[in-house]
Amino acid sequence: MQFKVVCCKLFVSLTLIAILLACANTTRSGAVGVNRSQFLAVSASEVDRLSAISFNEQNKKAKEKNILITSGPTYDRLKLISNRLIAQTGVFRDDTRQWNWQLVLINAPILNATCAPGGKITFYTGLIEKLNLNDDEIAAIMGHEIAHALREHGRERLSQAMAQSAVVNIAMAAAGSYGSAIGAANQAAQYILVLPNSRQNESEADAIGLELAARAGYNPQAAISVWQKMNQITQGKGSPEFLSTHPSGDTRIEQLSQLMPAVEPLYFSAPKPAVNK
């Protein structure tokens, strides 16, 4: 009887520890005040490893098609903006200096941009050209994508999927062949980058992205013009990739507007980029 009670107490304690370990807040709240406990049952290193495999596969395929851009004026423009944004990520968490940040530009008429876990940024030329994005607007989109990575939204979504047994082969990937690792990585990427983000995750990425851009010296008002342009170009033409993963609610622009008083002072006092197109 006594043993049973001890066992039961031990079980409850271990369960509580497991839940406490699984629930964490990945970022500091910043001026925009993002603060929510997250369910994180998959390790960050495993998510980063699978994301890196998926990122490398994407780049390998793009290189084979001769559409991978890693130099030149547009790439350099993106690199400058990304460097300024990355320099501000320490506001939200301490470990980003150790991240292996990467940036690729893919020459394709696709309206999309992503930042995979661990800081793997992908931009498509179609997004920049079709929306005729200025630097402030590129910073708004890139800041939003980087914010998803800082908040580890991909890891959170994968954790939720695994808790529901929707993903079965991720856990086996570590012991498997390179081929099975790619399969697992692609499956993980579906949850991390392809399925629509929740409204809550979107709001968090909007808020943190806005603060990153403002602190990096980019006008936060550009986040609003990006969504106005996105809405205009997509009217009657179906949803581009970016909108399929970033559901555009009527409240998004309104929420961004409400955050301006918190981020505009940061923008006004921030050093500005030398050339702002």
- Which residues form the interface with Zn ion (CB under 5 A)? 197, 205, 246
b/e 221-250 (16+ beta carbons within 10 angstroms → b): bbbbbbbebbeeeeeeeeebbbbebbeeee
202 annotated active-site: no
User: CB 171 → Zn ion: shortest distance, Å?
Assistant: 27
| Smallest distance, Zn ion to C-beta of residue 246, A | 5
37's CB contacts (< 8 A; 6+ apart) are 23, 24, 25
**Residue for token pair 């995979």:** 116
Other CB atoms within 10 Å distance of the CB of residue 180: 14
For residue 34, give the nearest of 80, 75, 79, 91 by alpha carbon: 91
The region that residue 152 occupies, defined by phi over 0 for left and psi between -120 and 50 for alpha, beta otherwise, is left
**Residue 62 or residue 192: which is nearer to Zn ion going by CB?**
192
CB of 68 to Zn ion, least distance (A): 24
Looking at the Cβ atoms of 84 and 148, the one nearer to Zn ion is: 148
In the complex, the smallest distance separating the C-beta of residue 127 from Zn ion, rounded to whole angstroms, is 13
**In the numeric block, which tokens belong to residue 127?**
């997004």
CB closer to Zn ion out of 138 and 184: 138
Kindly tell me which of 152 and 184 has the beta carbon lying closer to Zn ion: 152
The whole-angstrom separation of Cα 56 and Cα 69 is 14
Active-site residue identified among 46, 145, 152, 211: 145
Give how far the C-alpha of residue 23 lies from the chain's centroid of Cα atoms, to the nearest Å: 19
Residues belonging to the active site? 145
